[in-house]
Amino acid sequence: MADSSFDIVSKIDRQEVDNALNQTAKELGHRFDFKGTGASISWSGESIEIKANSEERANAALDVFKEKIVKRGLSLKMLDSGEPRLSGKEYRLAVPLKEGIDQDNAKKISKIIRDEGPKGVKAQIQGDELRVSSKKKDDLQEIISLLKGKDLDLALQFTNYR
């Protein structure tokens, strides 16, 4: 009997992020507390840029965006926001999106699987994802629930379950 396996990835659904961004932009234009603040949100390459005339309004716009992200079923762990910085007369807040599993996090996840998971489960690092394989499908289910219970700073998805 062949081994069962699944992949652990950290991917961003760009269409859902774009939908959340458009909803946020629409709400910023309509809400009374954002009138006259020059608050806007838009794509800036691979990250999202929020502009407003005060630091508080920039953070409030980020909160609205986070709310829309959560409503769309996405994880907030993919956002890597910092503090708003003054640029001329407006505050700008760059929010880069985290995608992929870097080597350090991949090693940390495979160590968790080795140490706390059932025996006979193998984890292989393949670029920016991990392949987990085992003879028993029940062991794979146990690994998925183990990783969901851990507080990792990544948004993990489990794909290609065979």
Q: Which CATH class is domain 14-96?
A: alpha beta
Q: The tokens of 38 are what?
A: 């020059």
Q: Dihedral of CA 86/92/98/99: which sign?
A: negative
For residue 54, give the 3-state DSSP assignment: coil
Q: How far apart are CA 117 and CA 111, in angstroms?
A: 9
Q: Which CATH class is domain 4-11+100-159?
A: alpha beta
Q: Is the pLDDT of residue 99 over 80?
A: yes
User: So where are the chain's domains?
Assistant: 4-11+100-159, 14-96
Span 96-122, mean pLDDT? 91
pLDDT tens per residue across span 39-76:
999 999 889 999 999 999 999 999 999 999 999 999 99
Span 149-155, mean pLDDT? 87
The angle that helices 103-116 and 137-149 make with each other, rounded to 10 degrees, is 120
Span 88-110, mean pLDDT? 92
Read off the pTM: 0.85
pLDDT of residue 142: 92
